[in-house]
């Protein structure tokens, strides 16, 4: 029962924080901007998807989700790589944990690289979205 109460309290604090920081007003302004800019459904859908990812990321971070913490660490590394050189020749090699990679067999190495590259693409898109948002 104690864990449920603390989770409810964390969710309430997160909602209160969103209200204080004007989160919903920004979402409304962004939705109005997107709807006013174009009637193209793909643009609207991509904006909606981006907002959902941002909301899920903030929610996971507030609840102390371990996966969100690992993603944030990986995002910081991606951000550092792209800040140094946006045309990095081997970003996957720079992100790779060599100790883990050396312990894997050939199939799992390939799976590890494919998962890491998919994660890198996702985080690179987030990097460029956040970079253009604040410019």
Q: Which domain holds residue 41?
A: 1-64
Q: What is the pLDDT of residues 75-119, one digit of tens each?
A: 888 888 888 877 777 888 888 888 888 988 888 889 888 988 888
**Domain check: are 57 and 81 in the same one?**
no
**Domain check: are 12 and 44 in the same one?**
yes
Total of domains in the chain = 2
- Output 81 or 14, whichever has higher pLDDT: 81
**pLDDT confidence of residue 1:** 47
**Domain check: are 70 and 51 in the same one?**
no
d(CA 47, CA 30): 9
Judged on CB neighbours under 10 Å (0-12, 13-18, 19+), 78 is: buried
**Domain check: are 52 and 88 in the same one?**
no
Q: What is the pLDDT of residues 32-82, one digit of tens each?
A: 776 666 555 666 667 777 777 777 777 666 655 566 677 788 888 888 888
**Domain check: are 72 and 60 in the same one?**
no
**Domain check: are 98 and 37 in the same one?**
no
Query: What pTM value is reported for the model?
Result: 0.51
**Domain check: are 70 and 46 in the same one?**
no
Residue 31 CB partners (closer than 8 Å, separation 6+)? 47
For residues 62 and 13, is the Cβ–Cβ distance under 8 A? yes
């Amino acid at each position: 029962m104690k864990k449920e109460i603390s989770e409810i309290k964390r969710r309430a604090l997160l909602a209160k924080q969103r209200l204080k920081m004007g989160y919903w007003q920004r979402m409304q302004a962004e939705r109005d901007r997107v709807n006013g800019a174009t009637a193209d459904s793909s643009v609207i859908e991509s904006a909606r998807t981006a907002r959902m990812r941002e909301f899920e990321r903030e929610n996971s971070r507030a609840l102390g989700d371990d996966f969100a913490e690992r993603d944030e660490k990986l995002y910081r590394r991606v951000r550092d790589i792209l800040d140094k050189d946006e045309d990095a020749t081997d970003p996957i090699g720079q992100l790779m944990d060599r100790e883990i990679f050396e312990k894997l067999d050939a199939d799992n190495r390939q799976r590890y690289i494919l998962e890491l590259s998919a994660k890198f693409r996702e985080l690179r898109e987030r990097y460029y979205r956040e970079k253009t948002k604040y410019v």
